[in-house]
Structure 1
Amino acid sequence: MALSDASPTTLRVFREVVERGTLTAAAAALGYTQSAVSRQVAALERAAGAVLLERRHDGVGPTAAGHVVLRRAAAVLDHLDAADRELAGLPADAGTVRLGWFASAGAALVPRAIAALRRTHPAVTVTTREGSTPALVRALRAGTLDLAVLASAPPFRPFDEGTPPLRVRVLAERPLRVAVPATDPLAAADAVSLADLRGRRWIAGRSGPDELLLGAWPGLDERPEVAHVARDWLAKLQLVATGAGITTVPASLAAVLPPGVKLLAVRDGPREQRRVVLARLPGPLAEPAVLLAEALAEAVG
């Protein structure tokens, strides 16, 4: 069996495994058993004559050969999906761009960019989804996203070790802030010190079972007390407004703060910067993706 004989089903299974990061998650998403997914991957590896997946500490990922197969499989599946739409009499996807984004980007940046694009290019359709950075990077590699807005922390390393390297455009680099209740004594000033933050109750976010996102100040020199964990930014900020705790936020959220919350700078300790970047696979971009990329860059400004 040659790779050219692989069925679309087998290619879809392989793409799903790469995007989900584990055989178990891919099986759940596809409605298959894990053994059925394993058999499909094994059949594709026999056809390719190479190992396509390797085990990693957090699941599985494509080998160098797997990246080659994935890139070609994504192109084949996109063409088949386009043919299905054409045969069904549906509009072509030429004006569609698929965007992924990390949680806080959905509070202001992404809606602002989409609104601007709808005004200037109403024929362009944007589909979006939120996800953790690892999940969005896998989706870029799998070809199910065209662009991804990601957050990057110092020392600003590459998001993965895949080939070819992702192409990254820095949209902004801004300091973090601490969100406190407007009634908190700290809110009387515009900045606080690390000493002011010691012994406080913190509200953190979570993207997975073992991954806490922004919550306690990164440079805090004590073990923080995390009183509340919430993924949703609105929930976190509303908890701050009620006095349930304080939290660390990107400066970009200043435009969407609920009443009763104030942002403060931290004037000492390590400078805590975060970048907002736009990532994609190398190669030419379709016109809708180019237009959305420019809208995102303008929306950050």
Structure 2
Amino acid sequence: MDFEDVSLTALRVFRAVAEHGTFTAAAAALGYTQSAVSRQMATIERAAGTQLLQRRREGVRLTAAGRTVLRHATVVLDEIEATARELSGLPAAAGTVRLGWIPSAGAALLPRALTELSHTDPGLRVVSREGTTPVLVRALRAGSLDLVLLGSAPPFRPPDTETPPLVVETLTERALRLAVPATHPLARGDFVDVADLRGQRWIAGPSSGEDRLMGVWPGLDERPEIAHTARDWCAKLHLVAAGSGLTTVPAALAPAAPEGVRILPVRGGPQEQRRLLLASLARSPTQSVNRVAAALRAAALAVT
């Protein structure tokens, strides 16, 4: 093995590939061509003298050697970033926590937690970004995030099968809800019977190979009619308010529902539970990370 000639660019490319899961996505994130990413990966694998990635149809997966190299590459890149900040006169990043969150957590839980932190820890800096559960897990593994808020549906498997396992705790477990136009016949009661969902028009999230976005009630015994497709939760709920269809929502989104929308439980059929998870790497967290985690726990309890 000879890492003396491995550039910082190659290390950054390797971390981006590990985080984004494909050469194409890593290239887009870095502003490189896919061939440039491939060349940098070839360089670092030659230096390692072994395969760092398993190439698969759906993307790449780190080998055991790849996980080792990523762990050390993350330390190097973080040290370089800290040096650059110090030389530029910027404050140290020790009080900065990098947080990732699924879209549904951004409507009520995250703003509540950040508001509380602004009062209790005004010197603490939280930098956050939205993503799907698979993307956030990869970013956590790659060292680009310190904490992530993830979604989980039955049978509630671990977020990934990599080792070591992530440190995961359940913040909430609540039943999936249904967003219904206030003028819709189904909005007249305090709940919706699952049998009454047949023949309805739905507002669904775009399908993805690695993440199932909610929209249609699970387990319907018919091919659903998708009237509208939208990724953004705000857009979905406003389409519901306009009478354009129904959509499923996690319970945490109920406070964010606009006027003209009723958020109702569904009865009949299997229980459709959803968990909100808080995950981190299996290592000793900093005090800053612990304070952010505590604020997220408190916010999860407060958001109904």
Deviation at 1:137, TM superposition (A): 0.8
> How many Å separate the matches in 2 of 1:57 and 1:263?
39
Change (3 A) 1:209 1:272: closer
Within-5 A mapping of 1:285-296: 285-296=285-296
Q: Which residue of 2 aligns with 1:77?
A: 77
Deviation at 1:9, TM superposition (A): 1.3
* 1:102 and 1:150 in contact (8 A); partners too: yes
Per-residue displacement from partner, 1:172-210 (whole Å, max 9, x unpaired)?
Answer: 000001110111111111111121100000011237478
Structure 1: stretches of 5+ with no match in the other structure? none
What amino acid sits opposite 2:168 in the alignment? V
TM-score normalised according to structure 1 size: 0.96
> How many Å separate the matches in 2 of 1:210 and 1:9?
28
> How many Å separate the matches in 1 of 2:165 and 2:212?
27
> How many Å separate the matches in 1 of 2:219 and 2:36?
46
What amino acid sits opposite 2:257 in the alignment? L
Deviation at 1:6, TM superposition (A): 2.2
What amino acid sits opposite 1:101 in the alignment? W
> Does residue 64 in structure 1 map to residue 64 in structure 2?
yes
Q: Which residue of 1 aligns with 2:93?
A: 93
> How many Å separate the matches in 2 of 1:79 and 1:101?
25
> How many Å separate the matches in 1 of 2:233 and 2:101?
14
* 1:204 and 1:212 in contact (8 A); partners too: no
Q: Which residue of 1 aligns with 2:175?
A: 175
Deviation at 1:28, TM superposition (A): 2.3
Partner SS for 2:278: strand
Change (3 A) 1:210 1:226: farther
Per-residue displacement from partner, 1:223-281 (whole Å, max 9, x unpaired)?
Answer: 11111111111110111111000011111111111111111111100100000001111
Q: Which residue of 1 aligns with 2:223?
A: 223
Q: Which residue of 2 aligns with 1:274?
A: 274
> How many Å separate the matches in 1 of 2:267 and 2:243?
23
What amino acid sits opposite 1:201 in the alignment? R
TM-score normalised according to structure 2 size: 0.95
Partner SS for 1:214: coil
Question: Aligned-residue CA RMSD in angstroms?
Answer: 1.4
Identity %: 63
> Does residue 242 in structure 1 map to residue 251 in structure 2?
no
Structure 2: stretches of 5+ with no match in the other structure? none
What amino acid sits opposite 1:257 in the alignment? A
Q: Which residue of 2 aligns with 1:18?
A: 18
* 1:132 and 1:207 in contact (8 A); partners too: no
What amino acid sits opposite 1:15 in the alignment? R
> Does residue 192 in structure 1 map to residue 192 in structure 2?
yes
Per-residue displacement from partner, 1:53-108 (whole Å, max 9, x unpaired)?
Answer: 11234211211111111111111100110000001111110110000000110001
> How many Å separate the matches in 1 of 2:292 and 2:206?
28
> How many Å separate the matches in 1 of 2:211 and 2:224?
15
* 1:170 and 1:277 in contact (8 A); partners too: yes
Partner SS for 1:85: helix
Q: Which residue of 1 aligns with 2:128?
A: 128
